[in-house]
Structure 1
């Protein structure tokens, strides 16, 4: 059995504009969506900037009941899934719901609803013993991240396996990889997959303030996210979702589906080193890159573009640069690399799926998105990080990578099916 998983539909909710076209326009124009936080009063926090989405759930077709029931992140996932299914044409095709599954990634879960509910039951933090009588009857659904997969399954009619993958900042890659594996091993023929996070909340800001991981460039919010730049001072929190329809290649071709890319290879490693620290040599990420390329039957020289993790912290950017040199060898210096976090921020577990979306759009249009705000490259980050301006570039195979707290490292290879091994 030689089953292959391909992307046939894409749905995106990202800062700067919802929908695939708005997302791609923002990236190729090199515009940044970071701004001062408006979702709540962030005046008391060290970092007061983020990449927010101007999101009207009712305007995206969610009913009052759905809005009441679902956390903002779940709403993103459902809206993104509906866009992806419509884009794929699957909604008008005959498909077996029992052979259709869901795999959704999330690093933070329903953190916004949990944060607001705690404020209610604790009387804004004044009660040592919270009063459960004030809690929403939907609170249990917020405490159990599996509700994200359930909501997407209900919205799309999927009755096969339903899973939430939560591996921190690698969740967006790992959830899609899990979906691809279910198609490859014959468990499912169609998977609705991707990741969602809406972590811009007081508790999240306080947590990252405590470890000084986020940018304090509060007076220049559009310039705050600057991966690989010598003047960077941390990442900028974001939010968003990207959802895909994955299908088995033969079935997709038989129904005449448009195919964006094949999930040609993926791998993950962990270093067991430190909760937030990274070894400077990037060995574990390099091993994930090598393993993903091997599974895709692709050499380093076959990679046309790298969608970087590029968080904008000095430690991560240098670690990733070392890993790319180690994993791609001399080809690392010949390959365009960029970080879309410079424009849409770091939405924790969901950003890996947003980067997959950017990668398949780069393949479709043969344009590499830029790294915004990269004016003075860090001398230790000496690869081609495509500063400021998008670049036309033949792109048939993309390597996208992710790095997460706890030492998690993931890599995925996306290729045109006709360039992959049969």
Structure 2
């Protein structure tokens, strides 16, 4: 008997980011092309950041007021809970009776984890006033466990960090669990709340942080500014994933066709080679999973965080893989900055919006890598990479 073809379909997506909290509003923000940056004073220097807007802050405050225990949690955990509940609401997975759903597993990651609470508790430690809550509220496993409580998930609860590839790695893990039958439904994604004194200082110490605080585009991927223009942003993005047969798919469904992973030896502080070998490996591995007769890609949403060496390496890798047939390229970081462990999930949401709305009014970003954009989109690749030489490439396709 011939095997039944199965697919991983996105049943819901939840997000909270500098562009907003709901898909329609975020789609409008993408089309408007207005960057979500503001300038703060950090170490007596004007510093651009991408923070949540007032409406999103209000939603987080409502979330905190809904459960007294939430007041002890780090901002990264709160954003993950908000996005996860939104994803489950879309998927129809929220249960109001409090019954645990043992077939629902969770994998939420973060590059930095509870940075806000870490800094707060370290200051208390120096003053010999450390709270008993310090360890349980800063452990990385706290991410998925609190999300699981919030959505009554009784399956596996996994938290991890693989720097800025974290969200796509979580999705890869979810796909593996679903395909193996170890879970029937899966929540996967990333969250990051890095707008803290120490985290911003770390990025400045590497020498990559943008000095263009008074420029309309303080973050300029693809090397438009001929200098490092990395800007930190905050947010969370969570997917609700499910395995279905081909006959169960409906027009408009979006499936995760493939996830490729790449790794290369560390040759610098950040693990970036000039050829982007990690990206080359991840993209090629993802493409190999497509049907041989149908491997066309309409658009690549690049990682490109605005660092000269990193952006150049990724573009070199894309050229090596695709040669003279490079797909159109786009990115959302010139609008929302780099959200570290959440960035892959938020790039994926950008891809979902493009696939669902098919409104390709690409904003007039200062530097276009290609002159022509497709008139319609069927398949999009999303890239992510992180310190340590890792990379991930994910392929989405809309059912037509």
Same fold (TM over 0.5): yes
The answer as to whether partners of 1:293 and 1:300 remain within 8 angstroms in 2 is no
Q: Which residue of 1 aligns with 2:116?
A: 112
CA distance in structure 2 between the aligned counterparts of 1:407 and 1:16, rounded to whole angstroms = 30
CA distance in structure 1 between the aligned counterparts of 2:11 and 2:164, rounded to whole angstroms = 24
The answer as to whether partners of 1:310 and 1:338 remain within 8 angstroms in 2 is no
- Cα drift, residue 120 of structure 1: 2.4
CA distance in structure 2 between the aligned counterparts of 1:159 and 1:259, rounded to whole angstroms = 30
Q: Which residue of 2 aligns with 1:318?
A: 312
Q: Which runs of 4+ in 1 moved over 4 A?
A: 92-96, 298-301
Quickly say closer, same or farther: Cα 1:363–1:71, change in 2 above 3 A. Answer: same
- Cα drift, residue 112 of structure 1: 1.1
CA distance in structure 1 between the aligned counterparts of 2:259 and 2:14, rounded to whole angstroms = 21
Q: Which residue of 2 aligns with 1:227?
A: 221
CA distance in structure 2 between the aligned counterparts of 1:392 and 1:60, rounded to whole angstroms = 40
1:202 maps onto 2:197 in alignment: yes
The answer as to whether partners of 2:263 and 2:277 remain within 8 angstroms in 1 is no
CA distance in structure 1 between the aligned counterparts of 2:350 and 2:96, rounded to whole angstroms = 26
Q: Which residue of 1 aligns with 2:79?
A: 76
- Listed one character per residue, the Cα deviations across residues 164-216 of structure 1 (whole Å, up to 9, x for unaligned) are 13100000111111111111111111011111000110111111111111101
The answer as to whether partners of 1:337 and 1:385 remain within 8 angstroms in 2 is no
CA distance in structure 2 between the aligned counterparts of 1:369 and 1:403, rounded to whole angstroms = 27
CA distance in structure 1 between the aligned counterparts of 2:126 and 2:276, rounded to whole angstroms = 43
The answer as to whether partners of 1:275 and 1:407 remain within 8 angstroms in 2 is no
1:99 maps onto 2:103 in alignment: yes
Quickly say closer, same or farther: Cα 1:165–1:62, change in 2 above 3 A. Answer: farther
1:151 maps onto 2:146 in alignment: yes
- Cα drift, residue 10 of structure 1: 0.9
CA distance in structure 2 between the aligned counterparts of 1:224 and 1:320, rounded to whole angstroms = 20
- Listed one character per residue, the Cα deviations across residues 310-351 of structure 1 (whole Å, up to 9, x for unaligned) are 11111111111111111223221xx22111001011011101
- Cα drift, residue 259 of structure 1: 6.0
How large is the Cα RMSD of the aligned pairs?
2.6
The answer as to whether partners of 1:84 and 1:245 remain within 8 angstroms in 2 is yes
The answer as to whether partners of 1:338 and 1:385 remain within 8 angstroms in 2 is no
2:264 to 264, 271, 276: 271
Q: Which residue of 1 aligns with 2:49?
A: 50
CA distance in structure 2 between the aligned counterparts of 1:226 and 1:339, rounded to whole angstroms = 10
SS in 2 for 1:36: strand
SS in 2 for 1:168: coil
- Cα drift, residue 24 of structure 1: 1.7
- Listed one character per residue, the Cα deviations across residues 213-272 of structure 1 (whole Å, up to 9, x for unaligned) are 11011223x420111143143211001011111011249939x8x864111111111111
The answer as to whether partners of 2:108 and 2:144 remain within 8 angstroms in 1 is yes
Q: Which residue of 1 aligns with 2:378?
A: 396
1:192 maps onto 2:187 in alignment: yes
Q: Please, which runs of 5 or more residues in structure 1 have no aligned partner? A: 124-130, 378-382
Matched length: 390
Q: Which residue of 2 aligns with 1:5?
A: 8
SS in 1 for 2:154: coil
1:307 maps onto 2:301 in alignment: yes
Q: Which residue of 1 aligns with 2:209?
A: 214
Q: Which residue of 2 aligns with 1:85?
A: 88
Q: Please, which runs of 5 or more residues in structure 2 have no aligned partner? A: none
CA distance in structure 2 between the aligned counterparts of 1:346 and 1:369, rounded to whole angstroms = 22
Q: Which runs of structure 2 are paired with 1:340-351 in the superposition (5 Å)? A: 340-351=332-343
Quickly say closer, same or farther: Cα 1:42–1:367, change in 2 above 3 A. Answer: same
Q: Which residue of 2 aligns with 1:380?
A: none
1:287 to 275, 281, 285: 281
After TM superposition, the structure 1 stretch with the greater mean CA deviation from structure 2, 190-199 or 56-65, is: 56-65
Q: Which residue of 2 aligns with 1:126?
A: none
Q: Which runs of structure 2 are paired with 1:379-390 in the superposition (5 Å)? A: 383-384=369-370
The answer as to whether partners of 1:272 and 1:407 remain within 8 angstroms in 2 is yes
